[in-house]
């Protein structure tokens, strides 16, 4: 049976669709739209998981939430494809970026995105967070000067996990400015056929 992906528009769950396309695993999409006023996920998602967040997948009677956990689950289901490289260094880089995406990079970006919705005070406050974001973006740029993909010479699920914060930063925080290697990485992921196929399946996505 195909995997069911509970997918929220303009959200982290786009990464799950992309990974499924790369792994060529069968899936179907249950789409949800954000509340136009609050931009929050609809309450219907609570019927799938108590937190009411996306992404969530259903597979073989299991419900799996949290993007990182879903990515690890799908990589294992596909026999390790797009998983950690064989080398010790590559495996460490893979695990680092898999957790760094949400653990370190996304929090200041999320604050900036929220503040952007607050008139006057919010815009002024955003300037306090930009240096924190730049620190992360410069770090990623420095890593991408060493190799084409974040964990080595081939794309991995770590790149897919990092796509959302880096795309959000490109859209809202000037990630491409003066960072040629990061910009080239973004262009590479956007050109992948699986990425393009996932966009068709997922519907509106503001950060591609």
Give the per-residue pLDDT at 88.
98
Residues 115 and 146 in one domain: yes
Structural domain of 74: 3-82+194-202
Residues 49 and 116 in one domain: no
Give the per-residue pLDDT at 17.
98
**207 occurs within a structural domain:** no
Residues 76 and 114 in one domain: no
Residues 122 and 185 in one domain: yes
* SS3 of residue 20 by DSSP: helix
CA atoms within 13 A on the CB side of 15: 30
Residues 96 and 178 in one domain: yes
pLDDT digits (tens, 9 = 90+) for 55-101: 999 999 999 999 999 999 999 999 999 999 999 999 999 999 999 99
Residues 65 and 131 in one domain: no
Nearest Cα neighbor of 105 from 129, 126, 121, 78 is 129
**134 occurs within a structural domain:** yes
Average pLDDT, the chain: 93
Inter-axis angle of helices 88-100 and 157-172, nearest 10 = 40
The answer to whether residues 26 and 2 touch, using CB atoms and an 8 Å cutoff, is: yes
pLDDT beyond 90 at 33:
no
Structurally, how many domains does the chain consist of? 2
CATH number, domain at 116? 1.20.1050.10
pLDDT digits (tens, 9 = 90+) for 115-169: 777 766 556 666 778 899 999 999 999 999 999 999 999 999 999 999 999 999 9
Q: Is cis: bond before 55, omega within 30 of 0?
A: yes
Residues 130 and 60 in one domain: no
Burial 166-194 (b: 16+ CB within 10 A, else e): bbbbbebbebbeebebbbebbeebeebeb
Residue 144 structure tokens? 């991408």
With pLDDT > 90 as the criterion, what percentage of the chain qualifies?
A: 76
Give the per-residue pLDDT at 38.
76
Give the per-residue pLDDT at 156.
98
pLDDT digits (tens, 9 = 90+) for 41-57: 888 999 999 998 999 99
pTM exceeds 0.95 for this model: no
**Average pLDDT over every residue of 172-189:** 97
Consecutive H or E run containing 30 = strand 27-32
Give the per-residue pLDDT at 124.
67
Residue 1: DSSP 8-state: -
């Amino acid at each position: 049976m195909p995997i069911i992906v509970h997918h929220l528009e303009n959200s982290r769950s786009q990464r799950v669709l992309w990974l499924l396309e790369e792994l060529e695993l069968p899936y179907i999409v249950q789409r949800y739209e954000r509340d136009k006023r609050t931009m929050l996920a609809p309450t219907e998602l609570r019927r799938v998981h108590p937190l009411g967040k996306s992404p969530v997948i259903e597979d073989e009677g299991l419900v799996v939430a949290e993007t990182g956990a879903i990515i690890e689950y799908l990589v294992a289901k596909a026999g390790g494809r797009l998983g950690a490289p064989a080398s010790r260094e590559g495996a460490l880089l893979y695990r680092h970026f898999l957790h760094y995406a949400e653990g370190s990079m996304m929090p200041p970006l999320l604050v900036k995105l929220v503040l952007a919705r607050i008139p006057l005070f919010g815009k002024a406050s955003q300037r306090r967070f930009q240096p924190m974001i730049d620190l992360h973006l410069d770090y990623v740029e420095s890593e991408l000067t060493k190799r084409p993909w974040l964990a080595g010479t081939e794309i991995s699920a770590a790149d897919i996990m990092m796509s959302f914060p880096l795309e959000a930063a490109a859209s809202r925080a000037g990630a491409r400015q003066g960072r040629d290697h990061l910009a080239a990485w973004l262009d590479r992921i956007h050109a992948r056929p699986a990425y393009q196929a996932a966009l068709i399946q997922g519907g509106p996505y503001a950060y591609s």
